[in-house]
């Protein structure tokens, strides 16, 4: 059960939190910069909420891709095609 705006529900001894609060705290959660209680609430929320889980997975993937320092070689001609498309959209 996903609670989009309700606070204070209890499941298994953990007070549930809203999707808004989970999304607001995901970056801190990933950085391990939340209280023990908030961590438990987020852990309890994610398995039951596909929306928050998708945002969490996307954020984690973005951090992984941008943080590992790898560079990707672009396909031949990509830069020229991109410039052409950007030039057309600016007209």
Evaluate whether 38 touches 15 at the Cβ level (below 8 Å): no
pTM over 0.75: no
Q: Give the residue extent of every domain in the chain.
A: 10-89
Q: Is the dihedral of CA 38, 40, 41, 45 positive or negative?
A: positive
Residue 44 CB: number of other CB atoms within 10 A?
Answer: 18
- Please list the pLDDT of the chain residue by residue as tens digits (91 residues): 454 444 455 556 677 899 999 999 999 999 999 999 999 999 999 999 999 999 999 999 988 888 777 777 889 999 999 999 998 876 5
Burial bucket for residue 72 (CB in 10 Å: 0-12, 13-18, 19+): exposed
């Amino acid at each position: 059960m996903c609670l989009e705006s309700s606070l204070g529900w209890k499941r298994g001894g953990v007070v549930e939190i809203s999707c808004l609060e989970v999304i607001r705290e995901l970056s801190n959660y990933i950085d391990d910069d939340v209280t023990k209680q908030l961590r438990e609430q987020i852990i309890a929320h994610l398995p039951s909420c596909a929306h928050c889980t998708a945002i969490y997975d996307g954020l984690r993937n973005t951090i992984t891709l941008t943080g590992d320092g790898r560079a990707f070689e672009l396909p031949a001609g990509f830069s020229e095609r991109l410039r052409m498309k950007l030039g057309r959209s600016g007209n």
